[in-house]
Amino acid sequence: MWEVGPIAIRAYALLIIAGIVLAIWWGSRRWVARGGEPGTITDIAVFAVPFGLVGGRLYHVITDYHRYFGEGKNPVDALRIWDGGLGIWGAIALGGVGAWIACRRRHIPLPAVADAIAPGIVVAQAIGRLGNWFNQELYGSSTDLPWGLEIYTRVNDAGQLDMLNGVALPGHEQIIGSPFHPTFLYELLWNLVVAALVVWADRRFRLGHGRAFALYVAGYTLGRTWIEMMRIDDATHVFGVRVNVWVSILVFLGALLYFVVARRRGPREDIAALVDALAAAKAGSAGQPKPERPKPVDADDPESRPPSGSSEPSGSSEPEEAATGDRREVERGE
């Protein structure tokens, strides 16, 4: 934590913001590369980010209610989001609701947007995990490995023990059990691997209809399950197992099922055709001619670039059929 006059600036908050900015920037580039309009992801983020922050905090407070409610607890602390405590599944769930509202307003399919932002989200999660290092929290059991995390006692200005807001000074002792497994570091590295996997699979198989997002969810939860089981911080247990382990298992199975079933919906959406269909619909209602624009090249798929000097055959009915199908999606607002 740093202080600028009366304002306290916390590393945890700065890293969360940095992750959000990166996710929007990368998601925007991927969306435009697929044929989407610039600025679309930013507009959607205006809805998704606030919803996600609220959802993340609600999930944390619900699953760790013992921290805020009960004898000797202050329920107002549940609002102190700057002290840490965001549940990723609440953030994804309620953030998805915000994104869905924005997509409905713009008449674009939510699954296509989810595919564009998937790798950016998991890298944002990796960045956010660095905040756990600054807060000295969410570590695992004791270890003698070279990368074990040493945790020292912290005291505040009054000389009282304060592990969150205090400062570790020279001569302070390590807490009992130190050093520990840096489970937040394990998750950070795992998330980067998942991001690379999603980008590779998306390029190789041209994933669409939310399958890239499902792959991110499945990959993340697979790692979160075993990492969560290593942690020793207080948590709500169900049948003797941490609640986030159960959630990760259930979400993994749901994501895997969706990844398989969504394949039946066919090849990746033609975002350029969706945008053109929407533009044509708007122009038609205004009595104006349909605007023309070149079809963009997918920057995430170098193989999609046509060879030099080649041109599309004329008279083909496939583009018209694709545009007709995409226009139906626009009208439904899927």
Annotate 222-237 with DSSP letters as a single string.
Answer: HHHHHHHHHB-S---E
Instruction: Give residue limits of the domains in the chain.
Output: 2-141+181-265, 143-180, 270-299+318-334
Q: What is the DSSP letter of 163?
A: T
Tell me the pLDDT of the chain averaged across its residues.
85
pLDDT, average across residues 12-25: 94
Would you call 80 helix, strand, or coil by DSSP?
A: coil
Query: Taking phi first (over 0 means left), then psi (-120 to 50 degrees means alpha), and beta for anything else, what does residue 125 get?
Result: alpha
Rg, C-alpha atoms of the chain: 23
pLDDT, average across residues 41-57: 96
pLDDT, average across residues 71-98: 87
Does the structure show a pLDDT above 70 at 52? yes
pLDDT (0 to 100) of residue 286: 62
State the pLDDT confidence band at 268, using cuts at 50, 70 and 90: very high
Does the structure show a pLDDT above 70 at 217? yes
pLDDT (0 to 100) of residue 295: 55
pLDDT (0 to 100) of residue 317: 42
State the pLDDT confidence band at 318, using cuts at 50, 70 and 90: very low
CA–CA separation, 97 and 58 (whole Å): 14
pLDDT (0 to 100) of residue 289: 59
CA–CA separation, 103 and 299 (whole Å): 23
pLDDT (0 to 100) of residue 288: 62
pLDDT (0 to 100) of residue 185: 96
pTM for the full predicted model: 0.81
Does the structure show a pLDDT above 60 at 108? yes
Nearest to 296 by CA among 68, 31, 24, 46: 31
pLDDT (0 to 100) of residue 251: 97
Phi, psi of 256 (to 5 degrees): -65, -40
Of 34-43, 92-101, 269-278, the poorest mean pLDDT is in 269-278
Does the structure show a pLDDT above 50 at 146? yes
| Residue 184 burial (10 A CB sphere; 0-12, 13-18, 19+) | buried
List all residues 6 or more positions away from 160 whose beta carbon is below 8 Å from its beta carbon.
166
pLDDT (0 to 100) of residue 65: 85
- In the chain, pLDDT over 90 holds for what percent of residues? 57
CA–CA separation, 149 and 168 (whole Å): 14
Does the structure show a pLDDT above 90 at 192? yes
Is the model more confident about 216 or about 6? 216
pLDDT, average across residues 267-278: 86
Query: Taking phi first (over 0 means left), then psi (-120 to 50 degrees means alpha), and beta for anything else, what does residue 136 get?
Result: left
Is the model more confident about 162 or about 52? 52
CA–CA separation, 276 and 108 (whole Å): 11
**Ordered alpha helix ranges (H), 36-165:** 40-63, 88-106, 110-135
Q: What is the DSSP letter of 150?
A: P
pLDDT, average across residues 85-108: 93
Cα angle value 144/148/154 (rounded, 5°) = 120
pLDDT (0 to 100) of residue 9: 79
pLDDT in tens, 111-133: 999 999 999 999 999 999 998 88
pLDDT, average across residues 219-237: 95
Of 29-38, 75-84, 158-167, 217-226, the poorest mean pLDDT is in 158-167
In the block, tokens 């004329």 appear at: 314
Taking residue 260's Cβ as centre, other Cβ atoms within 10 Å add up to: 11
